Amino acid sequence: MPDAKVYRNFIGGEWVESVTRKTFENRNPADTRELLGHFQASNEEDVKRAVEAAAEAYKRWRLVPAPKRGEILYRVGQILVKSKEDWARQMTQEMGKILKETRGDIQEAIDMSYYMAGEGRRQFGVTTPSELPNKFMMSVRMPMGVSALITPWNFPMAIPSWKMMPALVCGNTVVFKPASYTPLSAYNLVKACEEAGVPKGVVNLVTGSGRGVGLPLMKSDAVKVVSFTGSTEVGRAVSEACAPTFKRSNMEMGGKNAQMVMDDARIDLAVEGALWGGFGTTGQRCTATSRVIVHKKVMKEFLDKFMARAKALKIGNGLNPSVEMGPLVCEDQLNTVMKYVEIGKKEAKLLCGGSPLKSGDFAHGYFHEPTIFAEVDPHATIAQEEIFGPVVSVIPCDSLEQAIQMNNDTIYGLSSSIYTQDVNRAFQAMRDAYTGIFYVNSSTIGAEVHLPFGGTNHTGNGHRESGTAALDVFSEWKAIYVDFSGKLQKAQIDDVTW
């Protein structure tokens, strides 16, 4: 398609070409013959210009009252509502997941915009009594400066909104580097910010590779905080790049999430949860249900129903409303899934799936069958390593205690769930599962924007996204003391008698 649109970077309030004068293609993973556009293949000089623009804009933006910043974010949400259907279709075209899910992706950005708009009036600190007379004490939040946002392709508008909206409402400016597989959704989000009246330089978009854009962005001395979502391997490199200057980094990384199914569970409900958690977004979620730990007493019933439902899933182009699972995002991701399936065949029993789909309607896309392995050892490769595809390992257990131990026995700790009708079991699992997110009688996916999102162990580095916890990533606390006694008072030293 020689007439495909060329999209530009957004720096200092202007849409500009990269200094490299080079672009990269954005193609539909369901049909790679469809070219969606050309995007800037940027480099370190582009990053430098964007950071400089953000640093200059910060001088003014930090002084805009937080409620006014919130009003702008509210307008961003309104624009997303207006454009939701068109931008959802474009998102399906560029990353593959079905239209119902891309609508949900944009809805999450809408929800986050509205939620953080309210935080413009709720950035509460504390006031507290002093130990000394005629002295006032309080704490307030203050912005940090330029924030670097490095985001993945699986939620190309939702995850950027988790970072951008709290950063902006706290008074920071941002330089946004989206994943190269989904730059169009990033472009649409930034266009919404522009239309909403975000001042020039406050939001900047630079597209390109991790090496060309991501690395110089996180190493820039002018960048004060880096918020990254992606693999644990890349997250380790981000942490190392930020460490020399003690730059704050917020990282959300991998997961190997388990759904525990007890012998008293409603099996049909548990099957629906495993199906949605394992094959929603073609398994390309950090919260995907890649493990299902099932009590041996109900294993046969669960497997029979789970396998039947997985085999019946309709696969295809996500724009088709009858399709239930789309393609992998790219050839590399498809090859990764195929590699792990071959490993799984040597480690466990293949129940269904196990093959890529390459003929007929699938000939020009990156499709793979929903795949289930049974009789999986909890320490098997497919039960320990993140696959990020439509592959689910079913692991037998004898008790709740063993299920919880298996749930916790990975290097990750993002999300987990339990299916049971016993409230005591549910509360025990809630207490003992060492994950940042936990569900009862629901899948391991489906977080909402007003609770913290993040995980333990190698999933994260202690910070959280979403909810008010996100404000802590993008702000610093300042303790303020006002002494109106008219004399020098010394805390912990003066002994005031009454």
Q: 252 an active-site residue?
A: yes
Rounded Cα gap, residues 4 and 19, in angstroms: 21
Looking at residue 389, its amino acid is G
Q: pLDDT tens across 74-115, in order? A: 999 999 999 999 999 999 999 999 999 999 999 999 999 999
Range 414-438 burial, b when 16+ CB lie within 10 A, else e: bbbbbbbeeeebbebbeeebbbbbb
Instruction: Please say if the pLDDT value at position 183 is more than 90.
Output: yes
| Catalytic site residue from 286, 324, 347, 397 | 286
Mean pLDDT of 286-295: 98
- Domain layout of the chain by residue ranges: 9-253+460-479, 257-440
Could you tell me the CA-to-CA distances from 339 to 61, 336, 373 in Å, in that order? Answer: 48, 5, 14
Which position has the higher pLDDT, 1 or 268? 268
Cβ atoms within 10 Å, residue 50: 31
Residue 393 tokens, joined: 């390992």
Q: pLDDT tens across 444-479, in order? A: 999 999 999 999 999 999 999 999 999 999 999 999
pLDDT for the residue numbered 1? 47
- Of 172, 288, 280, 299, nearest to 227 by C-alpha is 172
Cα 72-76-77 angle, rounded to 5 deg: 120
Rounded Cα gap, residues 214 and 43, in angstroms: 9
Residue 484 tokens, joined: 């109106």
Q: 240 an active-site residue?
A: no
Is the domain spanning 257-440 CATH 3.30.70.2190? The answer is: no
Residue 453 tokens, joined: 């999102």
Mean pLDDT of 379-393: 98
Q: What percent of the chain has pLDDT over 90?
A: 98
Mean pLDDT of 264-284: 98
pLDDT for the residue numbered 264? 98
In the three-class reduction of DSSP (H, G, I as helix; E, B as strand; rest coil), residue 23 is classed as strand
Backbone angles phi and psi of 357, in degrees to 5:
-110, 120
Indicate the range of 1-10, 94-103, 321-330, 449-458 predicted with least confidence.
1-10
Could you tell me the CA-to-CA distances from 269 to 254, 274, 441 in Å, in that order? Answer: 26, 9, 8
Instruction: Please say if the pLDDT value at position 3 is more than 80.
Output: no
Mean pLDDT of 494-498: 83
Mean pLDDT of 232-248: 92
Mean pLDDT of 154-168: 98
Rounded Cα gap, residues 218 and 228, in angstroms: 10
C-beta separation of 202 from 10 below 8 A: no
Residue-averaged pLDDT of the chain: 97
pLDDT for the residue numbered 495? 86
Task: State which H helix or E strand residue 388 sits in.
Answer: none
- Of 77, 234, 230, 66, nearest to 142 by C-alpha is 66
| Catalytic site residue from 52, 94, 119, 252 | 252
Look up the CATH superfamily of 9-253+460-479.
Answer: Aldehyde Dehydrogenase; Chain A, domain 1 (3.40.605.10)
Instruction: Please say if the pLDDT value at position 498 is more than 90.
Output: no
